[in-house]
Each structure stands twice: as C-alpha cells, then as structure tokens.
Amino acid sequence: MRISANLGFLYSDLPLPARIRAAARDGFDAVECHFPYDIPAAALRAALNETGLEMLALNTAPGDLAAGEFGLAALPGRRDDARAAVAQAVAYGAEIGAAHVHVMAGRSGGGDGAEAAFRETLAHACDLAAAQGMGVLIEPINRRDVPGYHLHSVEQAAETVVALGRDNLRIIFDCYHAQIEGGDLIRRFEAHLPLIGHVQIAAVPDRGEPDGGEICYERLLPAFRAAGYRSAVGAEYRPRGGDTRAGLGWLPRLRAALAAV
C-alpha cells in the first residue's frame, strides 16, 4: 500500500508546493490535498514533477466556510455553484495530474431533494472527470464534527455509488469518520470493498497521529490488505504537537506491519 500525506493538515506551516517537497523528504509515497486553488497549478505541478509524487486527490471548493457551508453538491438550489466547483476541481486536477476529485456533499441536513441534487452533481462530475481520465470520490463525514453533513455513513455512500453505476465513482473509507459513525471497521470495510477507492487514517477521538487513540492501525490496515485492498492510504490527521515531522514515528512502524502481511 502506498501511504499518502494529506497536505490539508500536514506541514501546514509551509506553502503548498513546499509541503509536497517535505512529504517526499520524509518518505511518503504520494500526496493529497484539500483546496489548492489559491496556488497556481503550475507551481504544484513543478513540485510534483520534482519529487516524483502523485497527487491522489483534491477536494471541490467548500463554498462559504464563514457561513457554515462545507460543500455544495447536495444542496438543492445550488446546482450551478456545485457544477462550477466540480468544473474548477477537474480542470485544476487535470493540470497537475491528480488521480481523483473528491466531490463534497455539504450540510444538507437530509432535507427534501438533497440526495437527488447530490446524485445529479455526481453524475456530472463523473462525466467531466472521465473525459480527463480521472476518478471521483465521495466521503462520508461524521455528524459529530460536521453537524448536518449530507453523506455521513459508508452504507449511505454505497447506496449512492450503486445507484449511479459509474465506473469512476468510488468511496473514501475514512477510518476516523467511520469509527465515529458506527465502528465495526473490518466487517464494514470488507462488505463494501468493491466500492472503496481510497482509505484515510487518523486517531480517534482526537484526530491526531494514527499511533494513538482507540484504533490500532498496525492491525487494521493489514486486515484491509488481507481482504484485497491495494490502493493508497491517506494520512489525514492533525499533528498533536503542531510539528508534522516530529510526530512521524508511526510511519515506519505501520510500514513494517504492512510488510509482514
């Protein structure tokens, strides 16, 4: 399994191109990010080319964060804005060679028309991404951290993916969110494995380095690998001490655990 640095949280004291170089220096195999749009795509592409790292995924723009928005795709009445965010992400992703776009559902509160709006936006995203040879990801996000988020369970995400039937649409199985929204990670992962395109890790409940908290990733990720998962694992955590490099002791231990499978 490749292990990817999520640059939305890691190396946050550095400009985004420098974060890519830092991730390469510290032994990550790939990178992923949240919202890179303030940085010229050419600067990111140069850093990726220099380091040889692949950008696995970037998020669609979240909307107005100050107003409480956290994604647009499942918001009835925001169709045009959601499509614009998808178009921006696909175009930017294509320019930097990203493998996937994560389409953020948003805080719909489960209201009328939300799932229909989400599926319509996803179908459009899959069409745009396919034309660039890219995939689309959706991520269940727990409602303790993001109240009202439309997509909050792996099971709900699976229903959406199956209903759309698009070859380039897959689920992010974020172990942090899935543990908070139901637990039973190995069984739920195995049940949905054919629909899973990416895995993310962090400690529960503090979302710190993945060598703490209630999930033992040195046992969990080898179980995922034994089940047949071969795609990447994204380290999407908030360093407890603020210094990413100081907290990377988990990385060689996790690699050793995976090598033993």
Catalytically active residues, by annotation? 139, 236
The helix/strand/coil state of 136 is strand
User: What is the residue whose two structure tokens read 């400690």?
Assistant: 203
Q: By C-alpha distance, which of 148, 134, 59 is closest to 94? A: 134
Adjacent-strand bridge partners of 226: none
Calculate ∠ Cα 168-163-224, nearest 5°.
60
By the 8 A CB rule, do 17 and 41 touch? no
Q: By C-alpha distance, which of 194, 179, 203 is closest to 231? A: 194
Instruction: Show Cβ contacts of residue 14 under 8 Å, excluding neighbours closer than 6 positions.
Output: 22
User: Would strands 100-102 and 30-32 be described as parallel, antiparallel, or unpaired?
Assistant: unpaired
The helix/strand/coil state of 89 is helix
Q: Which amino acid is at 27?
A: G
